[in-house]
């Protein structure tokens, strides 16, 4: 690991918003406080904790196959059987295609939500546009507006720390301003300030970074790319040549053995969900008795969940698991990619989060007895949310051992004893599933840019990536194929740029070993592409992003089924196909009973011969130019939600670019060509519509006298079309 070390001593979250409101102190005491404190370098009296000695090679490894497949007589995935030519095969896919037909936390009176801002902050709201900041934070869509608020809030907070204010005084100030600005309810303001304030102050007292550096580190693209040598590092690869790259991967054999795999993600089970409670409460989470009474019948929470800011009731989780156990009796193993607790991020405790983890683990054991489950840690499992201190932060009151030790106890119901050390160290592990096939679960919270602890030292937290390289190199030596699971997708804007860049290099180096990746976090039904960093025309990996069980928000609950190339001499361990299953929440609440059904099958829906990286890359190119196909993808992306918004050209560019960018905060390298193609297609579509309309209009008036041409021989219609054409 190489890095220039810092000169020591040195919820969708809501924390940046709380920071941003500190900037409004400028309006209350302009003479005493500058607006932006980019020059502040706090005096630090702190020494870097001594890093513990952790030798990767000395840790136990899983080397005995963990899964003993059960025999499922007459089982088949119906689109795989039989031989056919390409044209016949694709026709069969089409026949098999059975498909079903941002909300903001802080709003204004004009929008009909009833919130009124105090008059003295009108100027501040115009300057910082806190509503847009809130929307961007909630949806991980950062822009210069959020960046400006971040710099102002961070600078103000650093100023308060430098001026000698106590933690209690700073937290009280955050609470007061949050409440007085009516940004959230008093209890949310107080809860957020108490939960996050102490941790944030602790970290900021110990770093020597300016607001520009801090905000660039956390926000990424939306806040310029400020070079920070303290947070630039590179993983080290062993001196082993990369195996020769294949022109393309082989297509898995049809009618060969396969594994049927269930993928569940982002359950967000809410034990306090209450049918009939207020679903429009203007807090980060509603549909609870504490949300108050609904103002109208339409504002009442549904029986099985709600499209508004509400998580999953227990009856819905129970019904889904019962449906899966009854419908998919031949599941070989389960991928469970995290986020179990609800979105009440201002009101969480370690004890309650642990209780939810224990309850859901117990439920999974009872519903799927004997089925191996491979879990990954979400960002909501910690309290406060996104708080995952690296191992060197080992003080009793702030160490993360309270969570990792319990995860080891709970996960050991399915995992071998060899994973204990890495789970307790960093909540990651490696398991040999079958001879030649391994699953590696990563703790993606060490790339989470809302994890404040990474500001202390972001260099490969918990040595996870270096361990990952060791596992992949060992797998390569043993001729094993690997599936990677985690929570936050590495190309998502919530993943730190430096971590994502190193991960991208690792996937490229071991592209012949890693045959699939599986994540959650976004709640949508989507995927991410990976390419050779030296040749962006060569796709080398695909990351499947599974849909959420939680409807939060505007979504139908869903889950995925994968068919993975199984045990045979020519196995590729690639995903052969996948299905997305959903429950129509509106109909469930209307008729009082949910019906789960298969929304689509990937190969049939998108007319794909296989699901290799090259096939997904071809689909991406077609999505950019084929509007009808994109609209189909967009419907599935939203899990066929009736609450989904329309998608214009900018929305289309963002979604396709998200799929193209397996490396976070680096859209300029991946998206220029796609965006240009979409702009070109949009222009053609608009011109065609405009020309057709004018032509029809001209035909309607064909009995009218012909208009005199100008000196160049063009009439008015000709000039309009020339103008449109540029």
> For 105-258, where are the alpha helices, taking DSSP H only?
122-128, 130-139, 144-162, 167-180, 186-204, 211-219
In the block, residue with structure tokens 């007292």: 205
Question: What is d(CA 189, CA 180) in angstroms, rounded to the nearest whole number?
Answer: 10
> Which residues are annotated as part of the binding site for Zn(2+)?
266, 268, 339, 379, 487, 521, 523
In the block, residue with structure tokens 């919530």: 494
Question: What is d(CA 528, CA 504) in angstroms, rounded to the nearest whole number?
Answer: 12
Which two tokens mark 19?
């920071």
In the block, residue with structure tokens 């390409």: 86
For residue 231, say if its preceding peptide bond is cis, omega within 30 degrees of 0: no
Chain-centre distance for alpha carbon 422: 24
Give the relative orientation of helices 613-625 and 627-637 as an angle to the nearest 10 degrees: 110
SS (H, E, C) 348-405: CCHHHHHHHHHHHHHHHHHHCCCCCEEECCCCCCCCCCCCCCCCCCCCCCCCCHHHHH
Which two tokens mark 653?
């560019």
Burial string for 246-264 (b: 16+ CB within 10 Å, else e) reads: eeebeebbeebebbbbbbb
Question: What is d(CA 285, CA 273) in angstroms, rounded to the nearest whole number?
Answer: 10
Question: What is d(CA 640, CA 534) in angstroms, rounded to the nearest whole number?
Answer: 38
- Strand-pairing partners, residue 528, are 543
Question: What is d(CA 111, CA 454) in angstroms, rounded to the nearest whole number?
Answer: 38
In the block, residue with structure tokens 């219609």: 717
> Which residues are annotated as part of the binding site?
266, 268, 339, 379, 487, 521, 523
For residue 384, say if its preceding peptide bond is cis, omega within 30 degrees of 0: yes
CB 531 within 8 A of CB 662: yes
Q: φ, ψ for residue 17 (rounded to 5)? A: -65, -40
CB 501 within 8 A of CB 220: no
Question: What is d(CA 74, CA 341) in angstroms, rounded to the nearest whole number?
Answer: 39
């Amino acid at each position: 690991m190489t890095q220039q070390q810092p000169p020591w001593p040195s919820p969708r979250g809501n924390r940046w918003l709380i920071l941003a409101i500190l900037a409004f102190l400028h309006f209350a005491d302009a003479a005493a406080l500058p607006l932006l404190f980019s020059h502040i370098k706090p005096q630090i009296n702190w020494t870097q904790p001594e890093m513990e000695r952790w030798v990767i090679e000395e840790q136990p490894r899983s080397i005995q196959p963990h899964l003993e497949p059960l025999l499922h007589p007459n089982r088949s995935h119906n689109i795989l059987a039989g031989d056919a030519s390409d044209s016949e095969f694709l026709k069969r896919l089409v026949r098999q295609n059975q498909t079903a037909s941002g909300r903001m936390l802080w709003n204004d009176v004009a929008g009909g939500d009833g919130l009124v801002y105090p008059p003295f902050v009108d100027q501040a709201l115009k300057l910082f546009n806190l509503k847009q900041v809130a929307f961007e934070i909630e949806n991980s869509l950062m822009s210069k507006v959020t960046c400006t608020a971040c710099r102002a809030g961070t600078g103000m907070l650093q100023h308060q720390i430098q001026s000698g204010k106590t933690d209690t005084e700073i937290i009280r100030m955050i609470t007061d301003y949050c409440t007085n600005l009516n940004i959230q309810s008093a209890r949310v303001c107080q809860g957020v300030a108490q939960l996050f304030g102490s941790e944030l102050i602790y970290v900021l007292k110990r770093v020597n970074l300016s607001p520009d550096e801090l905000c660039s580190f956390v926000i990424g693209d939306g806040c310029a790319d400020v070079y920070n040598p303290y947070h630039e590092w590179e993983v080290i690869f062993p001196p082993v040549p990369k195996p020769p790259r294949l022109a393309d991967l082989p297509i898995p054999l049809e009618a060969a053995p396969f594994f049927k795999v269930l993928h569940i993600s982002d359950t967000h089970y809410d034990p306090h969900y209450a049918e009939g409670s207020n679903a429009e409460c203007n807090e980060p989470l509603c549909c609870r008795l504490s949300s108050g009474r609904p103002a109208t019948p339409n504002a009442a929470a549904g029986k099985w969940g709600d499209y508004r800011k509400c998580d999953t009731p227990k009856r819905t989780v129970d019904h889904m698991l019962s449906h899966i156990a009854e419908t998919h009796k031949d599941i070989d193993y389960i991928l469970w990619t995290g986020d179990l607790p609800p979105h009440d991020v201002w009101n969480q405790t370690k004890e309650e989060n642990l209780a939810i983890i224990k309850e859901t683990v117990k439920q999974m054991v009872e519903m799927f007895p004997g089925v191996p489950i491979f879990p990954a840690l979400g960002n909501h499992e910690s309290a406060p949310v996104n708080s995952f201190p690296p191992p060197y932060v080992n003080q009793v009151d702030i160490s993360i051992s309270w969570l990792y030790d319990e995860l080891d106890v709970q996960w050991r119901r399915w995992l071998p004893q060899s994973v204990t050390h890495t789970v307790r160290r960093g909540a990651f592990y490696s398991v040999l599933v079958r001879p030649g096939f391994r699953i590696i679960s990563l703790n993606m919270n060490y790339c989470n840019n809302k994890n404040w602890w990474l500001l202390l030292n972001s260099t490969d937290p918990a040595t996870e990536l270096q361990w990952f390289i060791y596992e992949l190199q060992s797998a390569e030596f043993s001729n094993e194929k690997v599936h990677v699971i985690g929570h936050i997708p590495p190309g998502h804007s919530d993943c730190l740029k430096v971590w994502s860049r190193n991960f991208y290099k690792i996937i490229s180096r071991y592209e012949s070993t890693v045959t699939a990746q599986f994540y959650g976090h976004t709640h949508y039904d989507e995927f991410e592409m990976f390419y050779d960093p030296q040749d962006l025309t060569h796709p080398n990996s695909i990351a499947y992003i599974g849909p959420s069980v939680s409807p939060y928000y505007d979504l139908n609950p869903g889950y995925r089924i994968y068919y993975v190339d199984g045990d045979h001499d020519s196995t590729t361990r690639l995903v052969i196909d996948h299905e997305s299953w959903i429950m129509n929440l509106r109909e469930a609440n209307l008729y009082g009973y949910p019906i789960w059904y298969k929304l689509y099958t990937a190969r049939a829906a998108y007319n794909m011969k296989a699901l290799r990286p090259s096939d997904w890359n071809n689909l991406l190119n077609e999505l950019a130019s084929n509007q009808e196909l994109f609209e189909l993808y967009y419907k599935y992306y939203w899990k066929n939600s009736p609450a989904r918004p329309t998608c214009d050209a900018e929305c289309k560019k963002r979604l396709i670019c998200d799929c193209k960018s397996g490396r976070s905060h680096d859209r300029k390298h991946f998206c220029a060509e796609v965006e240009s193609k979409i702009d070109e297609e949009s222009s053609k579509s608009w011109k065609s519509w405009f020309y057709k309309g004018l032509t029809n209009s001209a035909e309607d008036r064909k009995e009218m006298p012909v208009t005199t041409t100008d000196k160049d021989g063009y009439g008015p219609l000709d000039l309009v079309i020339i103008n449109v054409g540029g």
